Structure 1
Amino acid sequence: MPAMAATHSHVGMNPNRIRPTEDIFNPNDPHIREDIIRMIMQYLADEGYNASQTTIQDESNVKWHEREDDTNETRRLKKAIIDGEWAEVDKICSKPLFKNQKSFLFAVYKQQYLEYIEHREMQKAFTFLQKRLKPLEQHQKTPIEFKDLCYLLTTKSIHDAPSFKNWEGIAQGRDRLVEQFQSMLEVENSVKDGSVYVPPNRLLNLLRQAVAYQIEVSRYHPRISPIVETLLQDFSPFVIPNATRTVMLGHRGNVKCADFVGAEGRSIISGSSDNTLRIWDTETGNCLHILEGHSSRIWDVSSNDGGTTAASASGDSTVKIWDIKGPKAQCRATLGGHSGDVYTVKYHPTSNHVVSGGYDKIVRLHDLTTGQVVKTFSGHQLAVSKVILNPIGNLIVSGSKDNTIKFWDLISGVCIKTITSHLGEVTSVAMNSNGTLLLSSSKDNSNRLWDVRMTRPLRKLKGHQNTSKNFIRAGFAHNSLLVGGSEDGLVYIWDQESGDILQKLQGHEAMVYNAVWSPKQSMFVSSSDDRTVRTWYYDGKCHDEDRCKSIVFVHHILTGLILTISIITTSSSP
């Protein structure tokens, strides 16, 4: 059945824009790498980190010229000069090395000539002077250098000529020649690079442009220029969704779970009591794929950061891994090990493993390469309702129907702490992006915020309903909001600092199981007992309460009509 998409327009998220993930430049290009190092050195120098800048410069100078030093021609030439193998030097210098090669050739021939003079091989020196040095006379360093070379044919010592009174001998002369070659090569490469000059504040200007780009392509353009407080996360506008963006219809049973796919969130995955999963386009609400294969309801879904695969936890005692990238989505693997319903599944940050839990009270770690259970975590007295991992992936947190929350060390498998403060079954746990805060939901009608490091409660969030047999779940939104479902059919948004209710989103016809925020899309997605999935966004036009109520009322009527048609169609089908 086609999805019913809201008609509200918005600014931003233009699909035709160049995405930062596209290869608009090659970061492995050695010239790009050098540019990055130069900008870092400039920034360090501007900020007064002179010692650090000098250290990087010393290290980078070596690295920048490894390209030249490692070439066979360069190494052969240097060795030939040091060893005095002049025939080899001539052979290598017959190929173009740099623009001022004739100046270098004059220096090479001059060294050979001086060695003939040193060894008193005057006839060879005379012939060499005429055939090699005379044609390159214009490349002499001083106006009298060639004249002094001729004068050496009549002197007893090289030092008798004014131009060579400081000559240090054959070995030192060859060393000087190698140094001259390296210096000329470096100058030539600097000219080729064209990147030695770094415009003032180049790194800061690039960062400002990057932030401006993030603001430009964000879903909501701020009316007042925002102040960016961190560069560790992409800019996302601070808005509180107030209206339904899209209603996604098609499931024939209640929708237990829904989540944005991958870090970008351009699609949504939902799981239902109709034993299927559906992939939806975030922007249009169109159903892209229907995933069939489970023989019981789907309780939970998760996807990897790349958005290429998804995992589903089902009442048929399995976890299925799905390939969801490309024109055809299909099941890639079925993970066993559980006895009874699997209520929860979550990808490890590396995307190489998934963690699951369920009715049998055991948390399991699955290796996606082999499909095997590689570790189990035992300790809960009743079913495990939700499992998550901290951002760095070394800690598992599980919530259970035994009213407890447990923290497990991933490597040792040991439970390192247990929270027992909830008076009812724990229905969900969630962690903020830096792993310092934990949010838990319970059938004692409360969501609680915890300091992870101290394992102490910070505040209790109330107002919603969570007392029946369903898993009502909550999570973090943006940097300062909390969002969750409720049995009264509303999506609740709380202020993280005060615990106050900021918004109640109306639209679902029955209890809301979960609500999830996407920082990239700046939207919520929610799933409900009314068989629908909804996205929520900020509608700047929906500023007056009566108008918002009218929109919600229209959605209710249309949703009711479509559901009625769906039920009639289902009951009349063979």
Structure 2
Amino acid sequence: MGAIDMEMNKVNDDGVVSLKHILTGHQKPVFTISWSPDNRQLLTCGMEEVIRRWDVSTGECLHIYEKAGLGNISCGWFPDGKRVISGLTDKSICIWDLDGKESECWKGQRTLKISDVAITSDGKRIITMLRETTILMLDREAKVERLIEEEQTIISFSLSRDSKFLLISLVNQEIHLWSIDGDYKLIMKYKGHTRSRFIIRSCFGGFKQAFIASGSEDSQVYIWHRGNGDLLESLPGHSGAVNCVSWNPANPHMLASASDDRTIRIWGLNRVDLKHKETYSNGVIHQCNGGTSLSK
């Protein structure tokens, strides 16, 4: 089986995008991509395959995470960047150190066969999908479980940097924003992208995470204003369904997207004069530019 090429494009100081690396190694479509907290590494996960950890500056694959007889279905970083968490095809959740040594594992019905996985910024709560319409919050220390119930089937989810909000993508082509700080509450809905057959992932991003981005089956990346739900941009460029997006945690002007076309694209903000306005919503105050466009 041939290797899969993943293109990484660099945004230069003049706003021009150039090819930086082609990451080769995955044997199946790339389903998950995740930046490390320090912005220097990437985790990528193939469809029921291995997890690969990459050096962004050199394009070198630093480590491969795998478990005999099982495939990985999702991956993510611990907040300290020193451990990796993943969901596996036997519905278990595992934690590895960077060298691949397994440190913790929760077996049994702790995740669906196809599921995202996340951990809160304090490292205490693991978040995953328990059932098709249910998100599980698992407290590692107190061994307490809390649930978020949706009416529609959940496709994927993403945790905000401050661990106070959860973004849930649904089968009905809606993305829901939940507050999980204290009482759980649905506070915003985003619409416009296309999803009918595949798993499509969304994320928070931009300055103070004032934007929401999502992949789409129409080969585009969609970007909304987090506070008011307005659709700001739809970015063409991929030639297949965009499965996953991940906003750079250190550079608010950089966004990565992974596609069925077997490439990963890195998007950068155009250099424009920002028209700032304060927006009060979703429990935060942030400055944003609703007219900012992105370059390929």
How far residue 363 of structure 1 moved from its aligned partner, in angstroms, is 2.8
Change (3 A) 1:443 1:4: closer
How far apart are the structure 2 equivalents of 1:519 and 1:408? 24
Verify: 1:419 aligned to 2:194, yes or no: no
Gapped runs of 5+ residues in structure 2?
273-292
How far residue 427 of structure 1 moved from its aligned partner, in angstroms, is 2.9
Verify: 1:455 aligned to 2:230, yes or no: no
How far apart are the structure 1 equivalents of 2:267 and 2:122? 30
**Once superposed, what is the RMSD of the aligned Cα atoms?**
3.6
How far residue 520 of structure 1 moved from its aligned partner, in angstroms, is 2.4
Verify: 1:539 aligned to 2:270, yes or no: yes
| Contact 2:50/2:71, CA 8 A, preserved across alignment | no
SS at match of 1:411: coil
Please name the residue that 1:528 is paired with.
259
How far residue 7 of structure 1 moved from its aligned partner, in angstroms, is 8.8
Could you give the per-residue CA deviations for residues 22-80 of structure 1, whole angstroms, max 9, x where no partner exists? xxxxxxxxxxxxxxxxxxxxxxxxxxxxxxxxxxxxxxxxxxxxxxxxxxxxxxxxxxx
Please name the residue that 1:371 is paired with.
101
How far residue 466 of structure 1 moved from its aligned partner, in angstroms, is 2.5
TM-score where L is the length of structure 1: 0.40
Verify: 1:503 aligned to 2:233, yes or no: yes
| Contact 1:376/1:413, CA 8 A, preserved across alignment | no
Query: How many aligned residue pairs are there?
Result: 265
**Larger strand fraction of residues:** 2
Change (3 A) 1:481 1:463: same
How far apart are the structure 2 equivalents of 1:497 and 1:370? 39
> Given residue 255 of structure 2, which amino acid in structure 1 is its aligned partner?
F
Could you give the per-residue CA deviations for residues 295-348 of structure 1, whole angstroms, max 9, x where no partner exists? xxxxxxxxxxxxxxxxxxxxxxxxxxxxx3xxxxx55xx5648x6432122332
How far apart are the structure 1 equivalents of 2:115 and 2:200? 10
Please name the residue that 1:435 is paired with.
163
How far residue 458 of structure 1 moved from its aligned partner, in angstroms, is 0.7
> Given residue 374 of structure 1, which amino acid in structure 2 is its aligned partner?
E
How far apart are the structure 2 equivalents of 1:370 and 1:455? 35
How far apart are the structure 2 equivalents of 1:372 and 1:288? 25
Change (3 A) 1:523 1:431: same
What is the aligned-residue identity percentage?
23
Could you give the per-residue CA deviations for residues 348-378 of structure 1, whole angstroms, max 9, x where no partner exists? 2245544322332333445678934535265
| Contact 1:385/1:401, CA 8 A, preserved across alignment | no
Change (3 A) 1:495 1:246: farther
How far apart are the structure 2 equivalents of 1:384 and 1:498? 30
How far residue 527 of structure 1 moved from its aligned partner, in angstroms, is 0.8
How far apart are the structure 2 equivalents of 1:250 and 1:374? 29
> Given residue 10 of structure 1, which amino acid in structure 2 is its aligned partner?
D
Change (3 A) 1:488 1:401: farther
Please name the residue that 2:91 is paired with.
361
How far apart are the structure 2 equivalents of 1:275 and 1:359? 11
Which residues of 2 match residues 27-176 of structure 1 at below 5 A? none
| Contact 2:66/2:72, CA 8 A, preserved across alignment | no
How far apart are the structure 2 equivalents of 1:473 and 1:512? 9
> Given residue 128 of structure 2, which amino acid in structure 1 is its aligned partner?
S
How far apart are the structure 2 equivalents of 1:438 and 1:346? 15
SS at match of 2:59: strand
Which residues of 2 match residues 377-388 of structure 1 at below 5 A? 378-380=108-110, 382-388=112-118
Verify: 1:10 aligned to 2:13, yes or no: yes
Verify: 1:391 aligned to 2:121, yes or no: yes
Please name the residue that 1:514 is paired with.
244
> Given residue 229 of structure 2, which amino acid in structure 1 is its aligned partner?
G
| Contact 1:493/1:504, CA 8 A, preserved across alignment | yes
How far residue 539 of structure 1 moved from its aligned partner, in angstroms, is 2.6
Change (3 A) 1:499 1:253: same
| Contact 1:365/1:374, CA 8 A, preserved across alignment | yes
Please name the residue that 1:107 is paired with.
none
How far residue 532 of structure 1 moved from its aligned partner, in angstroms, is 1.1
1:288 aligns with one of 59, 62, 68: 59
Structure having greater relative contact order (Cα 8 Å, sep ≥ 6) = 2
Please name the residue that 2:221 is paired with.
491
Change (3 A) 1:444 1:335: same
| Contact 1:335/1:371, CA 8 A, preserved across alignment | no
How far apart are the structure 1 equivalents of 2:127 and 2:148? 11
**Larger helix fraction of residues:** 1
Q: Highest CA radius of gyration, 1 or 2?
A: 1
How far apart are the structure 2 equivalents of 1:368 and 1:533? 23
Which residues of 2 match residues 209-220 of structure 1 at below 5 A? none
Gapped runs of 5+ residues in structure 1?
12-219, 221-242, 292-323, 325-329, 542-547, 553-574
